[in-house]
Structure 1
Amino acid sequence: MGVYLESCGYSLLTITSFLGMGEVATKKAFDWVSNGPKIVKSSSIICRLMDDLVGYKEKEACDALQEKVVEAWKDINEECLEPRDVPMPLIMRVVNLARVMDVLYKDGDGYTHAKGSTKKLVHPCS
């Protein structure tokens, strides 16, 4: 993975998310995620680019980044359909981490400005 993908920390976050999953998180699973499978790379791309998208104002740049995000989602979907090296609960951890980025950044910077729509998602009565 490139430095720009490693800098977002999603690979490490994915590995960490496997902890506490019991018998499903085997040594083979940790080896798999440590080797940078396509689904983890795609999730990292979504993380990095969606975060970058909220900072761009130039339409052409946003369109190009958005296209890369769409391609990464297609790769994730493909990886979920094909026979896999690890159990589906582990695959779903990777998918769900990508979904978090979609929720946080699809309609603006919901991470930096969490008191708006993000807070309402976490605490609907606020």
Structure 2
Amino acid sequence: MVESYLWLFAMSYLPEYSNGRMFAGKLATIIVLLDDTYDAYGTVEELQLFTEAFQRWDIRLTESLPQSMKVIFEAILELCEEIEELTTESGNSNFVVPHFKQAICNLVKGYLVEAKWCDEGYIPTYDEYKINGMLTSCCPIFATTFVGLADFATKDVLDWILSNPDILRAASVIARVLDDMASHRFEQERVHVASAVECCMKQYSISEGEAYNLIHKDVEDCWKVINEECLKSNDIPKIALDCIANYARMAELSYEDHKDKFTNGELLIDYVSSLLVYPFCLDQTVI
């Protein structure tokens, strides 16, 4: 939970966005279980029905599924009820809740695609992988949740996020491919969908090292897109742009040097301690 919360803390530390941080932090913890369900525990047949339950938002479709899937589905339903309660007073629930549901549906559809690729032993092209990876990066669902609970939330801003704008695509690619480079060797030790690295190696017939170089260049290009979008998107609230850019920054921190600091939480201890545990003194000297 601490590692999950840190991602949302990175998206914005401002006190007025505490609701978004706390809610999305809980959501992130549930998504870890959701990801593992599609990644390692469910059969394709079970996952197809699980995904359909989300598409219809109908818990009755989970009756024949394993108990673990029912628990996760119920937890997400409870989170949806919570987000409705949080947005009813402001009058935003009529558009925030549908966008939240759609973001969840898009996420699980992305997970299902990867589960099918794994089951079939299919290695997509790097370009094909990135398109689906934009969903499984989780950037869209967290941006939707964070913005939906903010005081500037409007249907237009959430529609903008749902349209998958350039800045969101770029941040999503950064998060997806950096995660893959940090974790793919461990994950490929078992049956697992091909990562960005394997897809890149196959598409361009190159070595692992060459794939790393190409992906890092891709990340640099994505940062150029983010910078450009932050400068020119004057009709979008700056905090909405900032939270997406900050998601990409947190990905850089979490997966720098090809180390998965999210999975191996001990690598984040110093950051957590300095930010959340140990107080620091502000210089009171008046000049």
Bigger drift between 54-63 and 29-38 goes to: 54-63
Question: 1:30-109 to 2 correspondence within 5 Å?
Answer: 30-55=158-183, 58-107=208-257, 108-109=259-260
Higher RCO (CA-CA < 8 Å; seq separation 6+): 1
Deviation at 1:96, TM superposition (A): 1.0
Q: Give yes or no for contact 1:50–1:105 (8 Å, CA) kept in 2.
A: yes
Deviation at 1:20, TM superposition (A): 2.2
Deviation at 1:109, TM superposition (A): 1.2
Amino acid aligned to 2:144: I
Share of identical aligned residues, percent?
28
Deviation at 1:36, TM superposition (A): 0.5
Show the counterpart of 2:266.
115
Amino acid aligned to 1:53: M
Determine whether 1:17 maps to 2:146. Answer: yes
Counterparts in 2 of 1:92 and 1:37: CA distance versus 1, 3 Å: same
Report the secondary structure of 2:266's partner residue: coil
The two structures have a TM-score, normalised by structure 2, of 0.41
Q: Give yes or no for contact 1:46–1:101 (8 Å, CA) kept in 2.
A: yes
In structure 1, stretches of 5+ residues that fail to align are none
Q: Which one has the bigger helix percentage?
A: 2
Looking at structure 1, the residues matched to 252 and 224 of structure 2 have their Cα atoms a distance apart, in angstroms, of: 14
Counterparts in 2 of 1:7 and 1:83: CA distance versus 1, 3 Å: closer
Bigger drift between 33-42 and 104-113 goes to: 104-113
Looking at structure 2, the residues matched to 97 and 44 of structure 1 have their Cα atoms a distance apart, in angstroms, of: 9
Q: Give yes or no for contact 2:182–2:255 (8 Å, CA) kept in 1.
A: yes
Amino acid aligned to 1:17: F
Query: Which of 12, 24, 27 lines up with 2:155 in the alignment?
Result: 27
What is the CA RMSD across the aligned residues, in angstroms?
A: 1.9
Deviation at 1:56, TM superposition (A): 5.4
Bigger drift between 6-15 and 54-63 goes to: 54-63
Amino acid aligned to 2:265: A
Highest Rg: 1 or 2? 2
Count of residue correspondences: 124
Report the secondary structure of 1:111's partner residue: coil
Bigger drift between 7-16 and 52-61 goes to: 52-61
Q: Give yes or no for contact 1:56–1:62 (8 Å, CA) kept in 2.
A: no
In structure 2, stretches of 5+ residues that fail to align are 1-129, 186-207, 279-287
